[in-house]
């Protein structure tokens, strides 16, 4: 049975890296709610017109409409063997709707949380730096540049530091994530659908665990 992968993790947990690896190695499309809604801006369908009207009126798209958007996108051929959901579900109500969709599509849900201690997440984000020329990523705590604030490959270039990667902002983002996501984690735990992997390791070690979960025929 093909899988619907609900990949969860706090900011800085490495969720994006793992989604890219799953896409590249298992050919599982990464389905983002943001991308789906943006695609509807130019689509000429009744559903697209309904969503555009809601958004133009400044209204939140209700759950029953959002699941229709997810259903329409995941009915395409590229999702036949499974897919990764990015940004959905966000609440237990949406998770219950996704279970109904999974039954309709004859797919199995696997919720995977990449678990990283809060203090480590803060260091990952606060310490992040990147080169504006080559895109190389550094971290002052875990992968510092050879010389302070400049790229190893382009020593004439100052590294970028995102303004929102400061301790106060990071702590606020982590608190918001915990408050909003906890009910969803509890939902999947109660349904025996939640898998937790240790996100403190190297990306390849984390991926190996996730791939084993995704490719397993068991629960």
Q: What is the pLDDT of residues 179-209, one digit of tens each?
A: 989 999 999 999 999 999 999 999 999 999 9
Angle at 85 between CA 81 and CA 90, to 5 degrees: 145
pTM score, two decimals? 0.83
In the predicted model, is pLDDT for residue 219 greater than 60?
Answer: no
Catalytic residue among 73, 124, 129, 173: 173
Choosing from 68, 90, 118, 201, the catalytic residue is: 90
Q: Are 120 and 16 in contact (CB under 8 A)?
A: no
Query: Which residue from 87, 105, 72 is spatially nearest to 30, judged by alpha carbons?
Result: 87
> Would you call 128 a catalytic residue per the annotation?
yes
Catalytic annotation on 15? yes
Q: Which helix (H) or strand (E) holds 139?
A: strand 137-139
Residue 42 placed within a domain: yes
Please pick, among 107, 124, 128, 129, the residue that the annotation labels catalytic. Answer: 128
Please give the Cα distance from 157 to 217 (Å, whole number): 49
Residue 190 sits in which domain range? 2-117+181-215
Given the structure tokens 């302070």, which residue do they identify? 148
Structure tokens at 13: 């947990």
The answer to whether residue 157 sits within a structural domain is no
Q: How many CB atoms lie within 10 A of CB 193?
A: 17
The catalytically annotated residue of 41, 80, 143, 162 is 162
In degrees, to the nearest 5, what angle opens at C-alpha 42 toward C-alphas 37 and 46? 80
Residue 39 — pLDDT band, cuts 50, 70, 90? confident
Query: Is residue 207 in a domain?
Result: yes
211 located within any domain = yes
Residue 59, in any domain of the structure? yes
With a cut of 70, say whether residue 218 has pLDDT above it: no
Helices (H), the chain: 15-26, 33-39, 46-56, 63-74, 92-105, 118-126, 167-190, 203-215
Write out the two tokens for 125.
């984000």
65 within 8 A of 40, measured Cβ to Cβ:
no
CATH number where 90 lies? 3.40.50.300
Instruction: Judge whether 25 counts as a catalytic residue.
Output: no
Active site residue 124: no
Task: Kindly state whether residue 150 falls inside one of the protein's structural domains.
Answer: no
pLDDT in tens, 99-151: 999 999 999 999 999 999 999 999 999 999 999 999 898 999 999 999 989 99
Residue with tokens 């735990």: 189
Q: How many distinct structural domains can be found in the chain?
A: 1
Q: Is 171 within the bounds of a domain?
A: no
Q: Which two tokens stand for residue 21?
A: 């690896």
Which residue is catalytic, options 3, 15, 73, 107?
15
């Amino acid at each position: 049975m093909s899988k619907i992968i609900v990949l969860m993790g706090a900011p800085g947990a490495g969720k994006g890296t793992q989604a890219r690896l799953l896409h590249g190695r298992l050919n599982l499309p990464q389905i983002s709610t943001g991308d789906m809604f943006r695609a509807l801006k130019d689509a000429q369908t009744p559903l697209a017109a309904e969503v555009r009207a809601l958004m133009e009126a400044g209204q939140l798209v209700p759950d029953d409409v959002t699941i229709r958007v997810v259903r329409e996108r995941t009915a395409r051929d590229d999702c036949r063997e499974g897919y990764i959901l990015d940004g959905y579900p966000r609440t237990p109500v949406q998770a219950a709707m996704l279970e109904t969709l999974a039954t309709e599509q004859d797919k199995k849900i696997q919720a995977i949380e990449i678990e990283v201690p809060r203090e480590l997440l803060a260091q990952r984000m606060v310490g992040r730096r990147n080169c504006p020329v080559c895109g190389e990523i550094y971290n002052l705590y875990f992968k510092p540049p050879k010389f302070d604030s400049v790229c190893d490959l382009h020593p004439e270039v100052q590294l970028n530091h995102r303004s929102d990667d400061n301790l106060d902002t990071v702590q606020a983002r982590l608190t918001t994530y915990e408050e909003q996501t906890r009910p969803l984690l509890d939902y999947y735990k109660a349904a025996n659908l939640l898998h937790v992997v240790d996100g403190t390791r190297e990306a390849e070690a984390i991926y190996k665990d996730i791939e084993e979960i995704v490719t397993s025929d068991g629960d």
